[in-house]
Structure 1
Amino acid sequence: MRIFLASSVGVTCAAVLAFPLALPAPAEAGPPAVTSEPAVPGSTQSLPLAPLSGERSLGSAAPEQGLTRRGVRPFSLVGVVWDNPDSELYGRVQVRTRTVANGDWSGWQDVETHNHEHAADPDTAEGASGRVRGSTAPLWVGNSDGVEVRVQAEEDERATAPGDSPLPRGLHLELVDPGADAPPAGAPPAGAPPAGAPVGDPRLSALEGAGVDDPHVGQLSPEAAVTSAVNADLAPLGALEIPALSQEETEREFLAARPGEQRAKPYIGARPRIVTRRGWGANENLRERGFVYTKKVKAAFVHHTASGNNYSCSQAPSVIRGIYRYHVVSSGWRDIGYNFLVDKCGNIYEGRAGGVAKAVRGAHTRGFNTNSMGIAVLGSFGDTKPSSAAVQAIARLTAWKLGLYGANPRGKTYLTSGGGNLYQKGKSVRLNVISGHRDGFATECPGKLLYGKLGSARKEAAGYQGR
């Protein structure tokens, strides 16, 4: 039995802790759930899967594993993880959940099994940390308090040699409660010191005299203050959003930040409104401290989260908090993998911490996280069309962010592969400046119907840049 504990320096794993838990009345008896960080917003229940279909004697080598129907503490997002991040799950993962609202059980829902292509590059500190686990994509199911899961290996995998396991070892079901919504403007986050209290973090000394209007500094935890500070040129410390600028205002801001450069009219789109990490309610104590940067942003990779389309735009911050917790606590990443996220209404959200205008290294496109950014649209787009608002948001975001680095959204660029299943490490690869995830890694992401809209996004983004 595992429990994940958060600290100010990241997420650590403590083993073999057992204690009695008070659960809602279960539909069927089952082992208690393990929860994490009960004192902070959100939690993760991690349940080990067991053999199904009378194959318990096979243990971890059973070709069908899962959990029978049972009651658990409330959660809204599910996924399955396993020990070795380099092992693939060849098979089918399905879940049924019980809604809190009326107690009804859903039908079986498929969980996207291949998620290792959304990951840090193999030879980076994040990829080689030893904390990373294999994982499915997360699935948003809404507020639920019951679950049933089955994982079935493909027939070809069942024909392995005796003693081999057709499924990855260490399968666990992760049930994520994203916690409450973000506080209203001006309200301190949960666990923050009272207004006016000294923050007491030496890293904040760099903020003194920075010319930032700082009414929230006493209401922010040290990690939240430092995370907000990297956007200080764009919004006040602790702001819930970075406001949109007009084309003229964006150009003035761009040129003012480069006083020594040639002051020609830049090819840059108007800065869009971006909801900050504080705006969607990120718990900054979950992620690793510090930020990791690359030299520039030469390309944008577009993704879908494969988390399903059954969410409202008012729920998008909760979905993002669930994905963030799943990436960090369950999958072992240093932070959420994507640099930006977009919902079906076209709202844009800051993803991985480090500053929305900066070249932050993400964990979105294995092999191509250097000198790129990852944009994930919330949802699944294999058979569902993305909204026009989401496609337009991709265009507006890339017109601005790529424009900061002089990149043409309709152009081509070269990136060096860090290693993946399409290109060997060290290979220089010619890619569209706005590419789909599948252009850098053999995957269905971002879904065929979103991938088919990237030509329109490139054309619109170039137009926003004035090309």
Structure 2
Amino acid sequence: MRGFLVSSVGVTCAAALALPLALSAPAQARPPAVTSEPAVPGSTQSLPLAPLGGERALGSGALEQGLTRRDVRPFSLVGIVWDDPAGELRGRVQVRTRAVGTGHWSGWQDVDTHNHEHAPDPGTAEAASSRVRGSTAPLWVGDSDGVEVRVQAEADARATAAGDSLLPRGMRLELVAPGADAAPAGARPDVRRAGAPLGLARGDAQAHAPRAGALSTAYAPESADTTDLETAASGEVPELASNVIPALSQLETEAEFLAERPAGDQRVKPHIGPRPRIVTRKGWGANEKLRERGFVYSKRVKAAFVHHTASGNNYRCSQVPSVIRSIYRYHVVSSGWRDIGYNFLVDRCGNIYEGRAGGVAKAVTGAHTLGFNTDSMGIAVLGSFGKTKPSKSAVTAIAKLTAWKLGLFGVNPRGKTYLKSGGGNLYKKGKNVRLNVISGHRDGFSTECPGWQMYTKLGTARKAAAKYQGR
């Protein structure tokens, strides 16, 4: 990986975080069935699915769609989208891919079809956009240049008798290439002077860099697992010494927070955990031309929802910037959202990444937990954790991130809170729901996310986050 330029966003007073809602960009027309965007870093191939039959069918008598084995331009992430954003894909999706260079075809891999619960809240401008589509979760497959896909519907007796399928209309296979790392090699970090404004709602060009001496010049994951340390020793893990918001000690974090308070504010010293190290959007190479301009905010952050990306565990930490760029492009270009859905992402090495733009210290409204995106933040751990346990590094990163971010808003990670439902399959719109401050996605929506193995670790994260806050 190449070196990155430095940028930084500081901590702001919670009272200053509520900003006017930004207006969404005008709705754009739905793209044609086959699209490609060579003019910007990365690309998306969109291929319409066709009926399948014979030996390619997953089960006898089932109506299916898919694509036969074929050559395509290089890609690294796959997913299925369809026309109706409210429609569900009730069935099974499997893909096979051919690795670039070796020509080896993988076995059939399942794609998680339960992705509609990761979406903008009903009734919002983002949800109402004509660009929004239904979609599966994305699956990271690595550098590939061949693909085969099959989709089998779940049909009840009435649907079978009618000769119809429960598959949604307009299904297309999305093949996403993340593009090369955009940051130039050998870039030197800038230095933020004392007193520079903190916590800006900004694009990367408006970001402020960290103070001198705040950055380590080597990649050093905190509490890394043995496999991650072996990866680091082998040279596969990139140096992320630039384009990061540096970690601050407890005293430094509290000092920054107190310095940003309005004159005359005499409230007692808050419980805020140390600010963790965060890789910025520029750090993972976000193409800011993809997303809509402007930002949308809630009044505060009262809760954190933990997710898994369901994109598989077959990635190295050195590949994470590419994985995030691919998910970002899939959320915006393929699913039609205004930006990546999550506020933060965490990898298995414990690195934390800035997600949706608008300021890491601010109450940015995401598209992560359908019905509960207001007054909350979404943290997605890269991987699938239905059967696989998350790394200790990832759980620790969740604890550190929530200790800091929730602390800015005076929230106890071990506490309970109330959020008003925007509408979903567990709670009707307008219902005040009592939730853990650190909740799993399944607490607000009937879903497997964040996977049972991750869900069982949330108690550990709550306890650790409270300890980091000094409670």
TM-score tier by shorter-chain length is 0.7 to 0.9
Q: Which residue of 2 aligns with 1:248?
A: 251
Question: TM-score, normalised to structure 2's length?
Answer: 0.82
| Within-5 A mapping of 1:46-85 | 46-53=46-53, 63-85=63-85
Q: Which residue of 2 aligns with 1:382?
A: 386
Q: Which residue of 2 aligns with 1:266?
A: 270
What displacement does 1:166 show?
1.9
Question: TM-score, normalised to structure 1's length?
Answer: 0.82
Q: Which residue of 2 aligns with 1:360?
A: 364
Inter-CA distance 15–376: structure 2 relative to 1 (3 Å threshold): closer
User: Percent same amino acid at aligned positions?
Assistant: 78
- Deviations, residues 382-427 of structure 1 (Å, cap 9, x unaligned): 0000000000000000000000000000000000000000000000
Inter-CA distance 265–372: structure 2 relative to 1 (3 Å threshold): same
Q: Which residue of 1 aligns with 2:260?
A: 257
- Deviations, residues 415-452 of structure 1 (Å, cap 9, x unaligned): 00000000000000000000000000000000000000
Inter-CA distance 112–177: structure 2 relative to 1 (3 Å threshold): same
Secondary structure of 2:465's counterpart equals: helix
Inter-CA distance 157–279: structure 2 relative to 1 (3 Å threshold): farther
Q: Which residue of 2 aligns with 1:227?
A: 203
Secondary structure of 2:165's counterpart equals: coil
CA distance in 1, matches of 2:187, 2:25: 25
Inter-CA distance 164–347: structure 2 relative to 1 (3 Å threshold): same
1:324 to 308, 321, 328: 328
Q: Assess if the C-alpha contact under 8 Å between 1:255 and 1:263 holds in 2.
A: no
Unmatched segments (≥5 aa) in structure 1: 1-7, 18-33, 56-60, 189-209, 214-224
What displacement does 1:12 show?
3.9
Q: Which residue of 2 aligns with 1:289?
A: 293
Q: Assess if the C-alpha contact under 8 Å between 2:404 and 2:469 holds in 1.
A: yes
Inter-CA distance 462–15: structure 2 relative to 1 (3 Å threshold): closer
Q: Which residue of 2 aligns with 1:193?
A: none
| Within-5 A mapping of 1:33-48 | 34-48=34-48
Q: Is 1:97 aligned to 2:97, yes or no? A: yes
Larger relative contact order (C-alpha < 8 A, sep ≥ 6)?
Answer: 2
Q: Is 1:276 aligned to 2:280, yes or no? A: yes
Inter-CA distance 314–322: structure 2 relative to 1 (3 Å threshold): same
CA distance in 1, matches of 2:261, 2:185: 32
Q: Assess if the C-alpha contact under 8 Å between 2:30 and 2:130 holds in 1.
A: no
| Within-5 A mapping of 1:96-245 | 96-156=96-156, 159-160=159-160, 162=162, 164-184=164-184, 211=196, 226-228=202-204, 231-232=207-208, 240-245=243-248
CA distance in 2, matches of 1:101, 1:84: 37
1:433 to 429, 437, 440: 437
Q: Assess if the C-alpha contact under 8 Å between 1:43 and 1:178 holds in 2.
A: yes
Q: Which residue of 1 aligns with 2:404?
A: 400
What displacement does 1:40 show?
1.1
Q: Assess if the C-alpha contact under 8 Å between 2:346 and 2:382 holds in 1.
A: yes
Q: Assess if the C-alpha contact under 8 Å between 1:98 and 1:105 holds in 2.
A: yes
What displacement does 1:13 show?
4.2
Inter-CA distance 157–316: structure 2 relative to 1 (3 Å threshold): farther
What displacement does 1:184 show?
4.0
Secondary structure of 2:393's counterpart equals: helix
- Deviations, residues 36-93 of structure 1 (Å, cap 9, x unaligned): 22011000000000000069xxxxx982000000010000000000000111111100
Unmatched segments (≥5 aa) in structure 2: 1-23, 56-60, 189-194, 213-241
Opposite residue 100 of structure 1, the aligned amino acid is V
Secondary structure of 1:373's counterpart equals: strand
CA distance in 1, matches of 2:368, 2:96: 28
Q: Assess if the C-alpha contact under 8 Å between 1:230 and 1:355 holds in 2.
A: no
Give the RMSD, CA atoms, in angstroms. 2.6
CA distance in 1, matches of 2:448, 2:284: 28
| Within-5 A mapping of 1:341-352 | 341-352=345-356
Inter-CA distance 266–120: structure 2 relative to 1 (3 Å threshold): same
What displacement does 1:159 show?
3.0
Inter-CA distance 309–249: structure 2 relative to 1 (3 Å threshold): same
Instruction: Give the number of aligned pairs.
Output: 406
CA distance in 1, matches of 2:450, 2:210: 30
Inter-CA distance 227–162: structure 2 relative to 1 (3 Å threshold): same
